[in-house]
Structure 1
Amino acid sequence: MKKYDVVCLGCIVEDIVLTSVPRDTFYHDTTVAGSGLVSTGGDATNEAVTLAKLGNHVALLCKLGTDILGNNIISNLSQDPVDTSLIIRDKNAESVLSIVAVHPDGERSFLCKFGNQYNNMYHTDVSDEVLQSTKILTVGSFYTIPRLYGFEMSDILFRAKKFGVTTICDMGYDVAGGGKNAYDNCYRYVDYMIPSLEEARIESHITDGQNIDGMADWFLDKGAKNVIIKLGKDGCLFKNQTERYLCPAYKIKVIDTTGCGDAFVGAFTHAHLKGLSHKESCSFANAAGSLNATGKGSHLTIQNEQMILDFMNEHERG
């Protein structure tokens, strides 16, 4: 029996979330936000918390500084049912702070202080022992950990597949300048690739935003076994060599979209663990992403599986 259902590899940050922030706020001397909160965040962290609240045994694998900010992150994370024993505390690492400005329409922008904790993480930090201990490895996300570009990430994924681990990978933006297609040699080891529409467009170099199938085919041609493109309010597209589903999202009043893509990935992973079909898993993931957008913060709204099931019964799909 595996020790973990899921190990979530990737980024961990301290989020300061401010709501009702106008998009032109930096053109003014002072702007008054609607409300604020402090929470853990980062793709892997959000996925781990969602998975844990849905009843899975989840470990978070990341590197974190021993500074005050890192201590605050650990303290906040202790409130969630996530195994933190794999978090590597590094005295030479500077922890990450992210200010999340939520705009009146619920969309958000990030202002980040990256520090250097991601530059200090190597493929050797992900041991064979850890990979052998889990059913699923999620990566949150490609491009968010500069050191784990190219060979470093492909080595981790190659070893995961060698041990029979299912690999589920999210994607971010190349803010660190790793270069286009830095992960071309990784896709062959990815079971489920889950980018957003904009991330898929950038990675595939397909400028026509309507050519979603073309974007999915690009990842499939690179070797990914299954591709799910998150389409926000339009749901998601699932595609592999034999299946294609366009799954609509749920109709909601959007409060805050922070972490919705991560909630989607976490919920899809949970549904996959339960043995649901691809179509059922996408519908469940859509519901989780939509439900997350009805509250504030990256992972504070979803509390358990039944909450998502009730949401699915109570809301129409668009």
Structure 2
Amino acid sequence: MPDVLIVGSYITDLTARTAALPKPGETVIGTDFQTGPGGKGGNQAAAAARLGSEVVFVTKIGRDAFGEQAKHHFMKEGIADTYIIETEEAPTGTALIAVDDKGENMIVVTPGACGHLSAGEVEQAEKVFEEAPVLLLQLETGMGAVEKAAELAFRKGAEIILNPAPYRELPDRLLQKVTYLTPNETEAEEMTGVAVTDKDSAEKAAAILLSRGVSTVIITLGRKGCFVMNNYEKFTVSGEPVKAVDTTGAGDAFNGALAHFISTGMELHEACLLANRAAAVSVTRTGTAPAMARLEELKRL
């Protein structure tokens, strides 16, 4: 039985490091290049699996070289691939990533096959929805797949974590099924019109999202940690002071870890504290899925 079910994107990361990110129309010289597994769904699956969760991943990949790399990655990380769909009609998704010396990044995502994951294909995995206590979703696939997954999980009484990234308009009928909504500051502002710059503005944005039917709002604040609010409590969890090498995938590290710790029955404050630690570990090294933390690293931090 899975601890965490993830429906979402698998994308191959094509990452170049450079001293400074290019301005529009500018060409810069890179210092390093690597390819590796990624995508928000893939990163979050790796994050949860490395912490000890039994993870089932529903996604779609192409029958191509990147798809073969994906299958090898799933096997290596212990991610169940029973419901991973292969297609010849679209290539495996890719992300073009540039990372500068400060660890900041610019990303262009081409979803490819996972962008064509359909509601009907998600429904074919209905059996696993009966078993998983936690469903984790993001927005790099089509909305039909996202809404169908939320519908199936809600019907079975699972807790649903929705990471609303990359941002898009979301219907209230979806938000009303969400147990934990995890926007970053930018996504929270896009969803509410409130610029999140401090605790007061985070609380104002969270209140708007709660009014739309979400049970709990967790606004991630990068190195500042996160702000958490529901109808019973509100609190801030401080970030971990580490030297960032590559911030790509930090939000995915947080969400995958949150799903893992929620699935164990851990109290929310503690789960957010440890999810912050997982994100902090991930930014201390390069890459996305390969940078995800293991449990012993959180204990050391």
Q: What TM-score do you get using the length of structure 1 for normalisation?
A: 0.87
Give the conservation status (yes or no) of the 8 Å contact 1:236–1:248.
Answer: yes
Q: Equivalent residue for 1:298?
A: 288
| CA-CA distance at 1:35 after TM superposition | 2.4
For residue 69 of structure 1, what is the aligned residue in structure 2?
66
- The answer to whether the 8 A contact 1:302-1:308 is kept is no
The superposition leaves residues 193-214 of structure 1 with CA deviations (integer Å, 9 ceiling, x where unpaired) of: 1111101110112246441111
Deviations 1:140-160 (A, max 9, x none): x13x22x325xx533431221
Partner Cα distance (1:307, 1:191) in 2: 28
Letter in 2 for 1:192: Y
Q: Please say if residues 281 and 293 of structure 2, whose CA atoms lie closer than 8 Å, have aligned partners that are also in contact.
A: no
Task: Report the 3-state secondary structure (helix = DSSP H, G, I; strand = E; otherwise coil) of the residue aligned with 2:290.
Answer: coil
Aligned residue pairs, count: 297
- Give yes or no for contact 2:18–2:100 (8 Å, CA) kept in 1: yes
| 1:266 alignment partner AA | G
**1:201 matched residue in structure 2:** 189
Aligned mates of 2:196, 2:45 — CA distance in 1:
33
Q: What is the correspondence of 1:219-258 to structure 2 with a 5 Å cutoff?
A: 219-258=209-248
User: Equivalents in 2 of 1:55, 1:173: separation in Å?
Assistant: 27
| Counterpart residue identity of residue 21, structure 2 | R
2:289 match: secondary structure = coil
Where does structure 2 lack aligned partners over 5 or more consecutive residues? Answer: none
Amino acid of the structure 1 residue aligned with 2:190: I
- The structure 2 residue matched to 1:126, chosen from 122, 129, 132, is 122
Once the two structures are superposed, residues 115-148 of structure 1 have per-residue CA deviations (whole angstroms, 9 ceiling, x without a partner) of: 3x24422222223212113121100x13x22x32
CA contact (8 A) 2:278 2:292 kept: yes
User: How far, CA to CA, are the matches of 1:267 and 1:131 in structure 2?
Assistant: 20
Contact 2:44 2:252 in 1 (8 A): yes
Residue 21 of structure 1, CA deviation: 4.4
Instruction: Give distance in 2, aligned partners of 1:42 and 1:208.
Output: 26
RMSD (Å), alpha carbons = 1.9
Q: Contact 2:7–2:146 (CA<8 Å) still a contact in 1?
A: no
Mapped contact 1:255–1:293 kept (Cα < 8 A): yes
Residue number among 136, 144, 166 corresponding to 1:173 in the alignment: 166
Identity of aligned residues (%): 23
1:83 aligns with 2:80: yes
Cα distance between partner residues in 2 of 1:118 and 1:47: 15
Q: Compared with structure 1, are the counterparts of its residues 15 and 269 closer, same or farther at alpha carbon in structure 2 (3 Å cutoff)?
A: same
Deviation at 1:161, TM superposition (A): 1.4
Map of 1:314 onto structure 2: none
Equivalent residue in structure 2 for 1:192, among 142, 161, 180: 180
- The one of 276, 297, 300 aligned to 1:286: 276
| Distance in 2 (alpha carbons) for counterparts of 1:21 and 1:111 | 19
Distance 1:108 1:26, change over 3 A: same
SS in 2 for 1:99: strand
Deviations 1:138-189 (A, max 9, x none): 00x13x22x325xx53343122111121111111134xxxxx6333220110
Tell me the TM-score normalized by structure 2.
0.92
**1:148 corresponds to:** 143
* CA distance in 2: counterparts of 1:227 and 1:200, whole angstroms: 10
Query: Aligned partners of 1:98, 1:138: CA distance in 2, in Å?
Result: 21
CA–CA distance in structure 2, aligned partners of residues 125 and 114 of structure 1 = 17
TM-fit CA distance, 1:28: 4.2
Q: Larger deviation: 202-211 or 246-255? A: 202-211
Supply the distance in 1 between the matched residues of 2:293 and 2:187 (Cα, whole angstroms): 28
**Contact 1:154 / 1:189 at 8 angstroms: preserved in 2?**
no
Tell whether the 8 Å contact from 2:181 to 2:218 is kept in structure 1 after alignment. Answer: yes
Say whether residues 1:38 and 2:66 are aligned partners.
Answer: no
8 Å CA contact 1:40–1:77 kept in 2: the answer is: no
Closer, same or farther: CA 54–207 of 1 in aligned 2, 3 Å: closer
Distance 1:288 1:244 in 2: 22
Letter of the structure 1 residue corresponding to residue 122 of structure 2: V
CA distance in 2, matches of 1:207, 1:239: 17
Q: Which has the higher contact order (CA 8 A, sep 6+)?
A: 2
